[in-house]
Amino acid sequence: MIPSQRPRVLLADDHRLVAEGLKSLLTAEFDLVGVVEDGLALVETARRLGPDVIVADISMPNLNGIEALARLRQDNEDVRVVFLTMHQEVAYARRAIEAGALGYVLKHSAPSELVTAIHAAMNGKSYVTSALAGDVLQAIKRGPEKGRSPVSLLTPRQREILQLLAEGHSAKEIGCSLSVSARTVEFHKYQMMEGLGIHSNAELLLFAVKEGLVTI
Amino acid sequence: MKRGLVTSRRLQCSVFSLLLAVASLGVWAGPKRVLILDPFGRDVAPFAAVAAAFRSTLARDLAEPVDIYDIPLDLARFAESDGEAPMVAFLEGRLKSHPVDLVVPIGVAGLRFAVRHRESLFQDTPILAVAPEPRFVPAGFPGNNATLVTYKVNLPAMVEDILQIQPDTKNIFVLFGASAHEKAWANECQREFQPFNNRVTVTFLNEPTLDQTLKRCSDLPPNSFIMHMLFIVDAAGVPCERNEALRRLHEVANAPIFGYYASEFGLGSIGGRLYPDSEIGARGARMAIRILRGEKAGTIAPQILEPTTPVFDWRELERWGISEARLPTGSIIQFRQPGFWQLYRWPIAGTVAFCLLQAALITGLLVNRSQRRQREAEATLISDISSRFVNLPGAEVDREMMDAERRICELLDLDISVVWQWSSGPPGCFTLTHYYSVKDGPQASVQLSDADFPWFRKIMLEKRIVPISSLKDMPAEAALDRENCQRLGIKSNLCLPLTLGGEPPMGILSLNTIRTERRWPSALVKRLQVVAQIFTNALARKRADQALRESEERITLAAEAAEFGVWVWNVAQDRVWGSDRWLELFGYQGHEEINFDKVIKRIHPRDRKGVEQDVERALANRNDYAGEFRTVLPDGTERWITSRGRVYNGAKGTPVRMLGTCVDITARKTAEDSLRASEELSRATFEQAAVGIAHVSTGGRWVKVNDRLCSIFGHSRDELLNLTFEDLIHPEDLGVELDHVRQLLSGQIQNYTVESRYFRKDGSTIWVVHTVSLVRSAAGASMHLISIVEDITQRKRAEAALRDLSGRLIRAHEEERARLARELHDDLTQRLARLAIDAGRVERGADGESSAETMRTVREGLVTLSDDVHALSYRLHPSVLEDLGLGEALKAECERFSRQGPFAIQVDLGELPTSIPPDRALCLFRVAQEAMQNAVRHAQARKIDVSVRALDGGLQLAVQDDGIGFDPALKRDHRSLGLASMRERVYLLEGELHIDSVPGQGTTVLVCLPLEGVPR
């Protein structure tokens, strides 16, 4: 292991103008080993050069930054990537962090945050641009989306449909009598079952009986 | 090459025809096959009744052909293991060539057989056990591909019932046959009857033969009861025909018989809680139908029928003196008394016979009348000879004749003139009918036996005229006649036969003198012959008149009974007589004078002329009259009348009267009118309809087509009638139509409407809306299809053009937005970023505080500008859709909406496919966006749920809100809510959009989008 004086950085951005601007920003503190302009080139070059940190845009031709990161992580779990992007949506940032990125910096904040983010990445720490940090943290804390929370109460429409179902009408008949499509009826039924944690028609019928929607 | 094409087309056609023929039978894969394992053969109760009910119910209710193999296993005669091998081998062969869809063992014996050989015979076939006694069902049955339906026998209850209805019963004799199955049952009985041992003695009869059993039963001790259970084979192994055995037992037994099977009830058993054998069979059949229609046998819960209600035979209760009060509560008593029909069978049959007789009588009289008419015509013709007797009414004949006699006598100086007649009195007698004596005047009638005047009788019958001036002139053979004449004081006599044509004389005109003898010159005789002839005619006419009048009276009576009105018009006197019914039909009261004019006035003005002409023509041509006309009654009601009449001619051939009948046909006329109107309407509808209409046979052949249909297809009527609809339909649309036709014929649907492509004669393709309905006869058999064809080719083209246009518009719009968004994002924001980066760098390297401050302001301005441009770009086209997929895009969109106000927006993403085509993702995204916008902007929703999940190889998006909703029927809302654009987007991708909204109850927008498929 040769201790390097300056971290080696690979830059991936298809916008030459921005890339040019970043070059001067990065070369001040880092060893810029290469600049690529699309996702595939990023994967290929990163494998070849093995930079310490990759600074990449998300929206890029051929392969976007997040997908490129996924491929790189197949070779090397610990690849360090800082995303530098125009996208201010939390979705991007969360997805980037979930994909294993260490940094998420907005382009126009680059002068003040990019260097910090790269250093943090060098140390294996995460850095999310201050504008989004709170939201991303919350989003990640919530974890991946789970199934919807059970609906405690049925809507009037659902009660109506449940009653008709329990009385033995088909979705088609119910659709006709409520002037909606059979598909809509099926959807309401599915939603009720899901919401109530019910898995069969029989249980649904039982529920309707218990609720007093029908008498048998 | 061309020939090959033609051949393949023909082949195709014949395949279609075949398919259609098959479709019309409602069969695609051949009939269902069901194997019934009948343990003891067809004649053994209760299994026979179970199997019969099963077979008939299945055949009736399945609504498709079913092939039922009924295999009698004959297990009673063979021990279970050794006798079965040939049967198993037979079944093996049979099932190999004809596999079955369901095996139905009957009874426990059948079930055991099925279970023993299931593996080798029908391992994977579902089994439905019918009527196996629950206590004998083998362990492990039914398992997962079988089920059963049965009834649980309650043995103690039988003894309890016997003891209840006949408390002093001391002995119960139980009858069982000798097969293994029956022995098993006998053992069960022995065991379960144990608790009653202290009350009754139970004896199991096991005499070697049926005859011996019967003998035994004829001589049972008092207070006995017979329990007739199973009797399949006797101890000698001879099978017993069940009903026969019960019948004989009932004949000889000196104790009541407790029978057990519902199917045998009424044959001599007293009744009780009957084993519902037919009901089990029927229930079994219904279960079988469920299995044959695809339900898994293992998922159908086994059924055990409820205990039955006790039923008793009234005749047996009477016979054995059992009080109804003793029967268990709720018992039903049958055969109590003969029904209405049995009681009144003979009166009803008598009435029917009477009606038939009356009809025959009317027919006979009508024939009779025509014969009389002939006779009357002859009589009136002859009567014309004498002016005095012309048109003389019958009633006046006698008077006129006697007057004539008087004048003859006065003129000729005769003493007595007598008319004798043969036919009007007892046989063998002359009856004096007209008498004139100068001395005494007219006299009452006298009867003389022709045996007293044999010679006179002889010459009169020979129609000879022998004037007798003196009795001495009479020949020797007339001795008896002479003697009798002397006794009467006759001096001279002239007898003239009253003879008509070749007939025997009807009588004699006898002219006599008693004071003196006189001569009879031949000229006088000739003149008197004319008188005799006149008399003959008059008498004949009188008789004919009488006969006719009697005949008319009878006709009138019969006619009135048949609701006919009878009328007689005396033409000469212009008087009309009508029967009561006729008076009623013409609205006359009582006995007013009626003439032809009055009758005509009652006829509808528009029919009058016709009736007058018809009557005139009938009179002129002496023809029969027939006509239909309306009468207008004084109260204004109108009636339709049909009338028939006949002209009766007088002596000179001039019409003297008409006789006829009238019938009220108003009801028929009204029905005819409405029928004609409705027929004309349907014909006009059919012929002049602006759509093509055809009657199509169930075989697909055009039976009747209208002009419009011909022009739609470009074929002539004759060409069309020689084609079938599948000759013209586009092959790709054939399947759908055939499927519908099959459902029509099987009664699943009443009609259907599809859009299909057809070929015109010139080879071009047309789009039609095809609506087909099935016309059934009253009996429910299908007759023909009514097919309505509307050419929608133009509409389709316009629609396609429109869809293409709106598709291109939406695409162009989206492409332009995406291009603009990319431009903004890839160029403008990047350039701004570059400026911001540069400004930042300068800011950090700035010398003075103030220039650093300036640069910071510049940089912050650039950042804000960049943010705004980015947001603009995002609104134009969400790049996140391509970058991170639909799920993330929706989440981002929901977050964006959440920031606009206090809405609780939940996103629920199911397992989505990894790659969703961009057009579909964009479509769902835009619909969701639009729906959320509506919820927030218009519906004042507080809570929105967005969900996407994979469904049926496609995607389902649902956006639900709790807002104020709207009425989907109002078009205005559709436009303002951008529903049209949602619908258009979804439709372009062959998806479905459903909007369910009720004012006050929120809105659900539901989109189902296939993942595959080319845009329409």
The DSSP-derived string for A195-208 is HHT--SHHHHHHHH
C-alpha count within 13 angstroms, C-beta hemisphere, residue B498: 25
Mean pLDDT, residues B985-1013 = 83
Pick from B825, B962, B1002: which is nearest to A86 by CB? B825
Mean pLDDT, residues B140-157 = 86
Chain B residue numbers with beta carbons less than 8 Å from the beta carbon of A15 are 826, 830, 833-834
Which of B841, B859, B883 should be substituted to probe chain A, the one whose Cβ sees the most A Cβ atoms within 10 Å? B883
Query: Are the CB atoms for B153 and B146 separated by under 8 Å?
Result: no
Mean pLDDT, residues B735-763 = 87
Rounded to two decimals, the ipTM of the complex is 0.70
Strands B127-130 and B32-38: unpaired
Determine the distance from the C-alpha atom of residue B522 to the mean position of all C-alpha atoms in its chain, rounded to a whole number: 85
User: Distance (Å, rounded) from C-alpha B770 to C-alpha B693?
Assistant: 10
Please give the pLDDT value at position B370: 53
Q: What is the pTM of this model?
A: 0.40
Q: Is the pLDDT of residue B633 over 60?
A: yes
- DSSP type of residue B239: B
Longest dimension (CA), chain A: 82
Longest dimension (CA), chain B: 197
Sheet architecture: strand order including B171-175: B201-205, B171-175, B224-228, B257-258
Cα A35 to Cα A20, A61, B596, distances in angstroms: 9, 14, 127
How many beta carbons lie within 10 A of that of residue B607, not counting itself?
Answer: 18
- 3-state secondary structure at position B647: strand
Question: Rounded to a whole number, what is the distance in Å from the CA of B341 to chain A's nearest CA?
Answer: 43
Cβ distance B840 to A111 less than 8 Å, yes or no, reads yes
Chain A residue numbers with beta carbons less than 8 Å from the beta carbon of B892 are 89-91
Among residues B549, B547, B557, B568, the alpha carbon closest in space to that of B361 is found at: B557
Which residue do the tokens 């209405």 mark? B340
User: Distance (Å, rounded) from C-alpha B128 to C-alpha B942?
Assistant: 57
Residue A91 near chain B (CB below 8 Å): yes
Please give the pLDDT value at position B409: 75
Question: CB-based contacts of B666: which residues, under 8 Å, 6+ apart?
Answer: B638, B639, B640
Burial of B27 (0-12, 13-18, 19+ CB in 10 A): middle
- 3-state secondary structure at position B71: strand
Which residue do the tokens 């002359």 mark? B430
Mean pLDDT, residues B550-579 = 77
Cβ distance A86 to B866 less than 8 Å, yes or no, reads yes
Question: CB-based contacts of B643: which residues, under 8 Å, 6+ apart?
Answer: B567, B625, B626, B627, B628, B629, B660, B661, B662, B663
Residue B168 near chain A (CB below 8 Å): no
Choose the weakest-confidence range: B248-252, B530-534, B606-610, B761-765.
B530-534
Please give the pLDDT value at position B16: 46
Cβ distance B841 to A24 less than 8 Å, yes or no, reads yes
Residue B249 host element (H or E) = helix B242-252
Cα B345 to Cα B315, B349, B351, distances in angstroms: 21, 6, 10
Q: Is the pLDDT of residue B22 over 50?
A: no
Query: Are the CB atoms for B785 and B773 separated by under 8 Å?
Result: yes
Which amino acid appears at position B220 of this protein?
L
Q: Is the pLDDT of residue B504 over 50?
A: yes
User: Distance (Å, rounded) from C-alpha B76 to C-alpha B241?
Assistant: 13
Which residue do the tokens 């003075």 mark? B848
Cβ distance A187 to B867 less than 8 Å, yes or no, reads no
Query: Measured on CA atoms in the order B448, B452, B455, B458, is the torsion positive or negative?
Result: positive
Question: Rounded to a whole number, what is the distance in Å from the CA of B26 to chain A's nearest CA?
Answer: 24
- 3-state secondary structure at position A104: strand
Q: Which residues of chain A have pLDDT under 50?
A: 1-2, 144-152
Which of A17, A60, A86 should be substituted to probe chain B, the one whose Cβ sees the most B Cβ atoms within 10 Å? A86
Please give the pLDDT value at position B925: 92
Query: Are the CB atoms for B455 and B468 separated by under 8 Å?
Result: no
Cβ distance B994 to A155 less than 8 Å, yes or no, reads no
Cβ distance A108 to B833 less than 8 Å, yes or no, reads yes
Chain B residue numbers with beta carbons less than 8 Å from the beta carbon of A17 are 830-831, 834
Which amino acid appears at position B4 of this protein?
G
Q: Is the pLDDT of residue B235 over 60?
A: yes
Which of B830, B874, B886, B960 should be substituted to probe chain A, the one whose Cβ sees the most A Cβ atoms within 10 Å? B830
Query: Are the CB atoms for A88 and A132 separated by under 8 Å?
Result: yes
Query: Are the CB atoms for A29 and A115 separated by under 8 Å?
Result: yes
Please give the pLDDT value at position A8: 92
- Helices marked H in B415-478 — which ranges? 454-461
Cβ distance B908 to A148 less than 8 Å, yes or no, reads yes
Please give the pLDDT value at position B21: 42
Who has greater pLDDT, B486 or B546? Answer: B486
Please give the pLDDT value at position B27: 40
* Span B697-713, pLDDT tens digits: 877 788 888 888 899 88
Sheet architecture: strand order including B1003-1010: B904-909, B943-951, B954-961, B1003-1010, B992-997
Chain B residue numbers with beta carbons less than 8 Å from the beta carbon of A110 are 833, 836-837, 840
Cβ distance B840 to A89 less than 8 Å, yes or no, reads no
Q: Is the pLDDT of residue B935 over 60?
A: yes
* Span B176-226, pLDDT tens digits: 877 777 888 888 888 888 888 888 888 888 777 778 888 888 888 888 888
- Helices marked H in B470-521 — which ranges? 479-488
Cis peptide before B46 (omega within 30 of 0): yes
* Span B674-701, pLDDT tens digits: 888 888 887 887 887 788 888 888 777 8
* Span B48-84, pLDDT tens digits: 888 888 888 888 888 788 888 887 777 766 555 566 7
User: Distance (Å, rounded) from C-alpha B778 to C-alpha B782?
Assistant: 9
* Span B268-295, pLDDT tens digits: 888 888 888 888 888 898 888 888 888 8
Q: Is the pLDDT of residue B147 over 80?
A: yes
Please give the pLDDT value at position B938: 83
- Most confident residue range from A96-105, B402-411, B892-901: A96-105
C-alpha torsion B727→B732→B733→B739, nearest 10:
100
Query: Measured on CA atoms in the order B948, B952, B954, B957, is the torsion positive or negative?
Result: negative
What's the token pair of residue A103? 């940094």
Which amino acid appears at position B981 of this protein?
S
Query: Are the CB atoms for B492 and B468 separated by under 8 Å?
Result: yes
Please give the pLDDT value at position A16: 82
Strands B904-909 and B943-951: parallel
Please give the pLDDT value at position B97: 80
User: Distance (Å, rounded) from C-alpha B26 to C-alpha B43?
Assistant: 34
* Span B85-114, pLDDT tens digits: 778 888 888 888 888 889 999 888 888 888
Beta-bridge partner residues of B233: B239
Please give the pLDDT value at position B11: 47
Q: What mean pLDDT value characterizes chain B?
A: 80
Residue B889 near chain A (CB below 8 Å): yes
How many beta carbons lie within 10 A of that of residue A215, not counting itself?
Answer: 7
Please give the pLDDT value at position B6: 44
